[in-house]
Structure 1
Amino acid sequence: MTTRSKTAQLKADGRFWLTLDGRNFLGRGRVELLQRIRETGSISKAAKAMKMSYKAAWDAVDAINTAWQSPLVESGPAGSRLTEDAERLIAAFHKAEARHAAFMEKLAASL
């Protein structure tokens, strides 16, 4: 039987996702992708900024656009832009993620 040093610390950890109909819908990576699309006006530029392939970025955008009742990212000849729903979901995600982080800190402190 091995023993751990007294400096080792037990920690609670968990990732936060918003789910929709039982499927992962928005997590930190997808929210970052949406924010970068907002900043660059381009799915391609957002993908490059995140060091991901265009296909992976497009697949993520397609998945969230298909899952939601209306598109969150609209693309056209002038580029891509976020809809009002996307902006509201990003804000809701950040608020909920902050609450999740606070809960995880309290949980870790109680261990």
Structure 2
Amino acid sequence: MSGSQFSIRSNFWLMVGDKSLAGRGRIELLERIAETGSIRQAAMAMRMSYRAAWDAVDAMNQRAAAPVVSRATGGRGGGGAVLTEAGVRLVNLFRSVEAEHARSVEQINERLAGLYDQVCGSA
């Protein structure tokens, strides 16, 4: 194939030991909880089930050193959810590492540019 080139694509997860803490989807969920004040509203905005969102929040709260989301049960004023300080720090850390990761992937792709023909070209 003329004009073809190698490239890599990469995503990452922040891990705690061998357990996943946060990836792109969970961080988006946290950001939407911060915006809406609600796990249910955040889940709807992401087109995911409330159960999946609640399970993700529960997993992050259990795996992080401190809870990342604080929940209030329903009642007269209704329930709600807010990011804790740990949650805000987690989002900021992830976005910082994500930007660094993207720069690294871009640098590797620059090094790969033009190598396709050298490696896979006809002799």
The TM-score, its normalising length taken from structure 1, stands at 0.92
Matches within 5 A, 1:49-60: 49-60=45-56
SS in 1 for 2:3: coil
1-structure distance, mates of 2:91, 2:69: 12
Of the three residues 19, 25, 28, the one matched with 1:23 is: 19
Q: Whose Rg is larger?
A: 2
What fraction of aligned residue pairs are identical, expressed as a percent? 46
Q: Bigger relative contact order, structure 1 or 2, given CA contacts below 8 A and separation 6+?
A: 2
Structure 2 residue runs of 5 or longer lacking an equivalent are 74-78, 113-123
Give how far 1:70 is off.
Answer: 1.9
2-structure distance, mates of 1:48, 1:96: 27
Task: Name the structure 2 match of 1:94.
Answer: 95
How far does the alpha carbon of each residue in 1:13-54 deviate from its partner, in whole angstroms, 9 at most, with x for none?
Answer: 111211111222111100000000000000000000000000
Task: Name the structure 2 match of 1:107.
Answer: 108
Is residue 14 of structure 1 aligned with residue 4 of structure 2?
no
Matches within 5 A, 1:35-74: 35-74=31-70
Task: Name the structure 1 match of 2:117.
Answer: none
List structure 1 segments (4+ residues) > 2 angstroms apart after TM superposition: none
> What is the root-mean-square deviation in Å for CA atoms of aligned residues?
0.9
Structure 1 residue runs of 5 or longer lacking an equivalent are none
Aligned residues, how many? Answer: 107
SS in 1 for 2:97: helix
SS in 2 for 1:96: helix
2-structure distance, mates of 1:70, 1:85: 6
2-structure distance, mates of 1:23, 1:110: 32
